[in-house]
Amino acid sequence: MEREFETPTADSIVERISIATQAGPLAAFVIRPRRMAPSRPLVVLHGISRNARALVRHFRAEAEHSGRLIVLPHFTMAHWPHFQRPGHPARADQALVELLNRLAVRFPDCAGRVDLVGHSGGAQLAHRTAMLYPQRIARLSLVAAGWYCLPDMSMPYPYGLGESDARGAALWIRRKQACLAAYLGLEIRVYVGTRDTLRDPALRVSPALDERQGRNRHDRARSYVEAVRAAAFSQGKVADIALIELPGCGHDFEQAITEVGLARIVTETPDMTLVLAAAG
Amino acid sequence: MTISFEAQLASAKWTFSTRRVDRTMAAGMDTAFAKARPGDLILAHVSEIGQHRRVQLSSGRHSDIYPGDAVVLACGARYAPDQFEGFAEILPEGADLLAGGGCIGRMVARNERIKSATRLIPAGRLLRADGAALNLDEFSVRVSARGDRIPVIAVFGTAMNSGKTVATAQLALGLRRAGWRVAALKGTGTGAFGDFNEYQDTGAHVVADFTDAGMVSTYREPLERIRAGIDRLLAHAEDAGCEIAVLEIADGLFQRETAQLLADPAFQRRISGLVFACGDAVAAAGGVAEMRRRGVVPDALTGMLSCSPMASAEAREATGIPVLGKNDLSDPAEANAFALRAGAEWWSAA
């Protein structure tokens, strides 16, 4: 594991690490607060703008505020031209899990469940990783994913778990089906801006996708939440999922952080007071 | 010049199957070879080199052997269709090196493509200070857990060299990559370090085989003893905090002990997942039919057939069971699906 430190401040320490994984090298920023609380680590996944370094600036204060270890993987264009969807071109899920395994050597809480947050393409990776390794995640926060892998058979893979001619579809469907019950038991929070309704060039569109999931990220978030609820219900469970609309926000993660405090929202835990008290 | 007993033992090549033995407990030896039972430790000298030109040492490396070399091995039987069948019998005039891992006995059959067994002349049966024979059974792993909690994914195969060990190792690797504390175990067979080392190379948290449960070989052992040995290995894995185990069962489905285990309702209840390694599609179809007849269905097929897309397609078509290659098994996403299907619990989350 290679390390590179930012200049220490009186507050948190930000360390940039690089690890070798079976899927390729992965860099990550690790924010260690001055007072570490006995709390779940938080992993934050950037979108296709790959703005991990910018997100560090926003989440550094949250690490200090919450006492949580915050990890921001950086899927660089050089090594990860595709990272949003585990599959043939890239296995960001493997790299992410290996990152946690490696961090657990230094930070034992990383061996337990972590909270996983992803924005846009990062939200795609986040929910797909959660479908494959649900036991490693406690709270899944998805911010404005472009589209989803629905946890049902209503759409062919990769849009759902229905049969498909897509490469390796049977393999991936079987893997996700094996983990589905645990996935549907996760605490899931889905965030989307009320103005995230543009069909910009980065948004995947197709007649089937538009019809089943919606024409924009806002509608697709709602469809996903409904699909999770229905899938859990079909298994005799009540899904712990909520849709949170971010007033006035478009698709910009940093805007949502600065204008509605999204970084604070996804970092806070219900037992924050107890956690901070324990940290002294 | 007379060489002392201690000096003979010190200069002897202690084979892999004796790796757990406390050598200081060897206080003497006798020549009551007729009384030798499986697991008894035998000091022997190499008399004629045959099939095995080297032995596997307890240190984990091979050693060439030469006529006259002193070797410490365990009396045992062997069932290996590619090599020998042998019984746990020692004749004073000579015995056979049945396996390079350190199994001495009497060869009763051999594959025509291989040479005769390397011949050994037994010097003595090692004894404890109280005069009892020193036996591997005394050195099995000590356990406190019961071994009835950890989920087990069993790996069976159509025959020797069908790909079971690769499947076991690669699945253990995938589980370790997914973050599980995993045990890679070999439940039956004849003691040798090849499989053991292959498991260890995956970084599995616990690696053990039936020699760790006190048996040099499981061939011709009663089913109860084999089951108890497996339970001991699983208990050992639980003691070490493992969350899931991958358990290889040697040889093909029709081999005596393998068939007994497969048909055993208690063993069937104990396993939570099943991988079947096959050489080709016909073997896969026959093996799956035999398993179904016994009331079990593999979760996946693997082995040599998975190297061929055509053979894989044939097997899938004939059995309706997915075929996984070694890269699939070592994929943490695939291995994780196995773990969750098997009911593994993520203790780190507690």
| Chain B residues 172-211 with a CB less than 8 Å from chain A | 177-179
Which class for A98: exposed (0-12), middle (13-18), buried (19 or more C-beta within 10 A)? buried
- Give the separation between CA B204 and CA B178, rounded to whole angstroms: 12
Helix (H) or strand (E) run with residue B111 in it: none
Query: B241 contacts in A (CB within 8 Å)?
Result: none
Q: Is the pLDDT of residue A269 over 70?
A: yes
pLDDT along chain B (350 residues), means of 10: 85 97 97 97 98 97 98 97 95 96 97 96 98 98 95 96 96 97 98 97 98 98 97 98 97 96 97 97 97 97 96 97 97 98 81
Query: B157 - beta bridge partners?
Result: B277
- Is A19 part of a structural domain of the chain? yes
Cα-based angle A54, A59, A60 (whole degrees, multiple of 5): 100
Structure token pair of residue A159: 């849009």
| Inter-axis angle of helices A92-106 and A121-132, nearest 10 | 80
pLDDT at A280: 47
Q: Say yes or no for a CB contact (<8 Å) between A179 and B177.
A: no
Residue A274 placed within a domain: no
Angle A157-A160-A164 from CA coordinates, rounded to 5°: 25
pLDDT band (50, 70, 90) for residue A72: very high
Rounded to a whole number of angstroms, the distance from the CA of B288 to the nearest CA of chain A is 20
Q: How far is CA B10 from the centre of its chain?
A: 27
**In chain A, whose CA is at the least distance from the CA of B335?**
A175
Confirm or reject contact between B243 and chain A (CB < 8 A).
Answer: no
A167 at interface of B, judged by CB pairs closer than 8 A? no
Q: Does B331 touch chain A (CB under 8 A)?
A: yes
pLDDT of residue B158: 96
Q: What is the pLDDT of residues A146-166, one digit of tens each?
A: 999 999 999 999 999 999 999
Do residues B129 and B223 touch, judged by C-beta distance below 8 A?
Answer: no
The helix (run of H) or strand (run of E) holding residue A92 is helix A92-106
Mean predicted lDDT score pLDDT of chain A: 93
A17: domain CATH number is 3.40.50.1820
DSSP H/E element including B251: none
Residues of B in Cβ contact (< 8 Å) with A139: none
CA–CA distance, A179 with A168 (Å, rounded to integer): 17
Compute the distance between CA of residue A56 and CA of residue A14 in angstroms, rounded to an integer: 8
**B241 touches A at CB < 8 Å:** no
Location of each CATH 3.40.50.300 domain in chain B: 152-345
- Mind telling me how many Å the CA of A208 is from chain B's nearest CA? 28
Cβ within 8 Å, pair A101-B334: no
Residue of chain A whose alpha carbon sits nearest to that of B348: A112
User: Are the beta carbons of A174 and B322 separated by less than 8 Å?
Assistant: yes
Q: Hey, of B316, B340, B341, which one would you mutate to test binding to chain A, going by the most A CBs within 10 A of its CB?
A: B340
A275 occurs within a structural domain: no
Cis peptide bond N-terminal to A247, omega within 30: no
Which residues lie across from B325 on neighbouring strands?
Answer: none
Decide if A169 touches B, using CB distance below 8 A.
no
Say which of A133, A138, A171 has its CB closest to residue B178. A133
Residues of A in contact with B349 (CB under 8 A): 112-113, 135-136, 138
Give Cα separations from B348 to A112, B182, B203, B224 (angstroms): 5, 13, 18, 34
Tell me the C-alpha distance between A175 and A169, whole Å: 10
pLDDT band at A7 (very low <50, low <70, confident <90, very high): very low
- For domain B152-345, give the CATH number: 3.40.50.300
Range of the domain at A100: 2-268
**A246 or A167: which leads in pLDDT:** A246
A280 located within any domain = no
Paired strand residues for B120: B46, B95
pLDDT at A8 over 60: no
Task: At B136, list the tokens.
Answer: 């591997």
Query: What distance in Å separates residue A257's CA from the closest CA in chain B?
Result: 29
Residue owning tokens 């298994």: A235
pLDDT at A2: 60
For B336, which of A100, A112, A179 is closest by C-beta distance? A179
CA angle B179, B184, B187 (to 5 degrees): 155
Q: Is A97 an interface residue toward B (CB < 8 Å)?
A: yes
For every residue of A56-79, DSSP letters joined together read HHHHHHHHHHH---EEEEE--TTT
Distances (CA, A) of B91 to A11, B8, B12, B120: 78, 21, 20, 10
The answer on pLDDT for A145 being more than 80 is yes
DSSP E strands in chain B: the ranges are 13-14, 28-30, 41-48, 54-56, 62-64, 70-75, 78-79, 84-87, 95-99, 103-110, 119-127, 152-157, 182-186, 206-209, 244-248, 273-277, 300-302
What is the rounded CA–CA span in Å between residue B186 and residue B250? 8
* CA B228 – CA B235 distance, rounded (Å): 10
Taking CA–CA distances from A137, the nearest residue in chain B reads B349
Nearest CA among B173, B223, B225, B218 for reference residue B199: B173
Residue of A nearest to B346 (CA): A135
Tell me whether residues A94 and B332 touch, CB distance under 8 A.
yes
Q: Is the dihedral of CA A48, A54, A56, A60 positive or negative?
A: negative
ipTM surpassing 0.85: yes
* Rounded Cα distance, B274 and A197, in Å: 48
Q: How confident is the model at residue A89 (pLDDT cuts 50, 70, 90)?
A: confident
CB burial class (10 A; 0-12, 13-18, 19+) of residue B47? middle
How is residue A132 annotated by DSSP? Answer: H
| Domain membership flag for residue A63 | yes
Could you tell me which of B51, B178, B157 has the C-alpha nearest to residue B107? B51
B333: contact with A, CB 8 A cutoff: yes
Structural domain count of chain A: 1
Establish if A109 belongs to a structural domain: yes
Residues β-bridged to residue B15? B57
Predicted local confidence at residue B3, as pLDDT: 81
For residue A241, being part of any structural domain is answered with: yes
A129: tokens are 């990783």
A68-91: average pLDDT: 94
Q: What span, in angstroms and rounded, lies between the C-alpha atoms of A227 and A229?
A: 5
Please name every residue paired with B154 in a beta bridge, in sequence order, or none if there are none. B247, B274
Q: Are A249 and A193 within 8 A, CB to CB?
A: yes
Mean pLDDT of A226-254: 97
Q: A240 lies in a domain?
A: yes
Residue A12, pLDDT score: 87
CA distance to partner chain A, nearest, from residue B177 (Å): 7
Contact state of A175 with B334 under an 8 Å Cβ cutoff: yes
